[in-house]
Chains A and B, each alone.
Chain A
Amino acid sequence: MDPILEVRDLVKRYKTVNAVNGISFSIPRGICFGLLGPNGAGKTTALEVIEDIIPPTSGEVLYDGAPKSPSFREEVGIQFQHTSLLHFMTVRETLVTFQKLYHKTESIDFLIDICRLRDIQGQMNNKISGGQAQRMLLALALVNKPKLLFLDEPSTGLDPQARRYLWDIILEIREKGKTIVLTTHSMDEAEYLCDDIAIMDHGRIIARGSPAELIRAHCSGGTISLPRANVRMNPAGLPFPYREVNGWLHITVDRVNTGIEKLLAMHVDLNDMKVHSPNLEDVFLRLTGRSLRE
Chain B
Amino acid sequence: MFKARNYEFFRDKAAFGWNFLFPFLIIAGFGIIFGGGGYSGFKVGVFPAGTESLSRADLKLPLKFADTEHLEFIGFPTLEQGLERLKHHKIDFLVRQGSPTGQYWVLESSPRGYIVERLYQAGLIPEGTFVGEKIAVEGDSIRYIDWLFPGILAMNMMFSALWGVGYIIVRYRKNGVLKRLKATPLTAFEYMTAQALSRIFLLLFTLAIVWAGSDLLFSFRVAGSYLDLFVVFFLGAMSLTSIGLLLAARGTSEEFASGALNFIAWPMMFLSEVWFSLEGAPDWVKTLSQFLPLTHLLQAARKIMNDGATLVDVSGQCLAMLATALACLVLGAVLFSWNE
Contact = CB atoms under 8 A, between A and B. Distances in A.
Contacts of A87: 8, 12
A180 to B, nearest CB: 16
Interface stretch (B52-60, B177-185, B260-268, B315-323): B177-185
Contact of B180 (A54, A74, A84, A144): A84
Given A86-B8, A87-B8, A97-B3, A73 B183 contact: yes
B185 A83 contact: no
Given A80-B179, A85-B177, A86-B8, A102 B339 contact: no
Given A86-B4, A88-B7, A89-B4, A80 B183 contact: yes
Nearest to B1: A97
B11 to A, nearest CB: 4
Contacts of B1: 97
Interface in B1-60: 1, 3-5, 7-8, 11-12
A80 B175 CA distance: 12
Contacts of B181: 101
A167 B268 CA distance: 55
B180 A80 contact: yes
A156 to B, nearest CB: 15
B308 interface: no
Given A80-B179, A84-B177, A86-B177, A98 B11 contact: no
Nearest to B178: A84
B176 interface: yes
Contacts of A73: 183-185
B198 to A, nearest CB: 12
B12 A102 contact: no
B185 A70 contact: yes
**Chain B facing A: main interface SS:** helix
Interface in A28-86: 51, 53-54, 70, 73-74, 78, 80, 82-86
B186 interface: yes
Given A51-B183, A74-B185, A89 B7 contact: yes
B303 to A, nearest CB: 39
Nearest to B183: A78
A70 B187 CA distance: 11
A93 B7 contact: yes
Contact of A101 (B175, B176, B179, B186): B186
Interface residues of A, number: 24
A106 B12 CA distance: 30
A98 B184 contact: yes
Contacts of B186: 101
Which of B1, B5, B179 has the most chain A CB atoms inside 10 A of its CB? B179
A88 B12 CA distance: 7
Given A53-B339, A88-B11, A97-B1, A102 B177 contact: no
A80 B176 contact: yes
Contact of A53 (B3, B12, B182): B182
Interface residues of B, number: 21
A78 B182 CA distance: 10
A102 B183 CA distance: 11
Which of A51, A53, A74, A144 has the most chain B CB atoms inside 10 A of its CB? A53
Contacts of A54: 339
Which of A83, A102, A140 has the most chain B CB atoms inside 10 A of its CB? A83
B199 to A, nearest CB: 15
A200 to B, nearest CB: 22
B180 A83 contact: yes
Contacts of A83: 176-177, 179-180
A294 to B, nearest CB: 27
B184 A85 contact: no
Interface in A109-159: 140, 144
A98 B1 CA distance: 9
B8 to A, nearest CB: 5
Contacts of A103: 185
Contacts of B7: 86, 88-89, 93
Interface in B297-340: 339
A142 to B, nearest CB: 13
B200 to A, nearest CB: 19
Contacts of A88: 7-8, 11-12
Interface in A162-210: none
Contacts of A85: 177, 180
A78 B186 CA distance: 14
B4 A97 contact: yes
A69 B182 CA distance: 15
26 contacts: A54-B339, A70-B185, A73-B183, A73-B184, A74-B185, A78-B183, A80-B176, A80-B179, A83-B176, A83-B180, A84-B176, A86-B4, A86-B5, A86-B8, A87-B12, A88-B7, A89-B4, A89-B8, A97-B4, A98-B184, A101-B184, A101-B186, A102-B184, A102-B185, A103-B185, A144-B184
Interface of B: 1, 3-5, 7-8, 11-12, 172, 175-177, 179-186, 339
The 9 tightest CB contacts between A and B, nearest first, are: A88-B11, A84-B175, A78-B183, A101-B184, A88-B8, A73-B185, A97-B4, A84-B176, A84-B177
Given A74-B185, A80-B179, A84-B172, 7 more contacts: A53-B182, A53-B339, A80-B183, A85-B180, A87-B12, A93-B4, A97-B1
